[in-house]
Chains A and B, each alone.
Chain A
Amino acid sequence: MRHIISVLVENEFGVLSRIAGLFSGRGFNIESLCVAETMDPTISTMTIVTTGNEAILEQILKQLNKLINVIKVIDFKDMDYVSREMVLVKVNATEKNREEILRMVEIFRGRIIDVSAKTYTVMITGDEDKIKAFLTLIKPLGIKELVRTGPVAMLRGEKTIKMKEKHGKGEEDGQGVL
Chain B
Amino acid sequence: MKKTGAQIFVESLRKEGVNTIFCYPGGATLNITDELHHATDIKQIVVRHEQAAVHASDGYARASGKVGVCLVTSGPGATNTVTGIATAYMDSIPIIVFSCQINTALIGNDAFQEADIVGITRPCTKHNYLVKDVKDLARIIKEAFYIARSGRPGPVLVDIPKDVTANMADFHYPEDVHIRSYRPTYVGHVGQIKKALKLIASSERPVLYTGGGIISSGASKELRRFSEMLSIPVTSTLMGLGGFPGDHPLFMGMLGMHGTYAANMAVIESDLIIAVGARFDDRATGKVDEFAPRAKIIHVDIDPTSISKNIKVDVPIVGDSRNVLKKMIELLEQEKEDFKDYPSKIAPWVEQINKWMASYPLTYNRTGLLKPQYVIERIYELTKGNAIIATEVGQNQMWAAQFYKFIKPRTILTSGGLGTMGYGFPASIGAQVAFPDALVIDIAGDGSIQMNIQELATAAQFNLPVKIVILNNRYLGMVRQWQELFYERRYTWTPMDYAPDFLKLAEAYGVAGYRIEKEEEVDTVLKEAFMNKKTTIIDVRIDPYECVYPIVPPGASLKEMLIV
Contacts and interface: CB of A to CB of B under 8 A. Distances in A.
B136 to A, nearest CB: 11
Contacts of B127: 68
Interface residues of A, number: 31
B37 interface: no
Interface string A62-90: 11011011110000000000000000000
A58 B308 CA distance: 9
A71 B118 CA distance: 21
Interface residues of B, number: 30
Interface stretch (A93-101, A120-128, A151-159, A160-168): A160-168
Interface of B: 118-119, 122-123, 126-127, 130, 147, 179-189, 191-192, 303-305, 307-309, 316-318
A14 B180 contact: no
A69 to B, nearest CB: 6
A52 B184 CA distance: 27
5 contacts: A10-B181, A68-B179, A174-B316, A174-B317, A176-B304
B318 A169 contact: yes
A167 B308 contact: no
Interface of A: 9-10, 14, 17-18, 21, 25, 55, 58-59, 62-63, 65-66, 68-71, 165-177
Contacts of A17: 119, 122
Nearest to A70: B181
Contact of A168 (B185, B303, B308): B185
B305 A174 contact: no
A68 B183 contact: no
Contacts of B187: 168, 171
Contacts of B126: 68
A14 B147 contact: no
A14 B304 CA distance: 24
A66 B183 contact: no
A173 B315 CA distance: 11
Given A169-B185, A171-B189, 18 more contacts: A9-B181, A10-B181, A14-B118, A14-B130, A17-B122, A25-B123, A65-B304, A68-B182, A69-B181, A71-B181, A166-B183, A167-B183, A169-B183, A172-B189, A174-B191, A174-B318, A175-B318, A176-B318
A127 to B, nearest CB: 30
Given A17-B119, A63-B305, A68-B147, A166 B185 contact: no
Contacts of B317: 174
B122 A21 contact: yes
Given A68-B126, A68-B127, A175-B318, A170 B304 contact: yes
Contact of B305 (A25, A59, A69, A70): A59
A58 to B, nearest CB: 7
B274 to A, nearest CB: 15
B309 A176 contact: no
Nearest to A173: B189
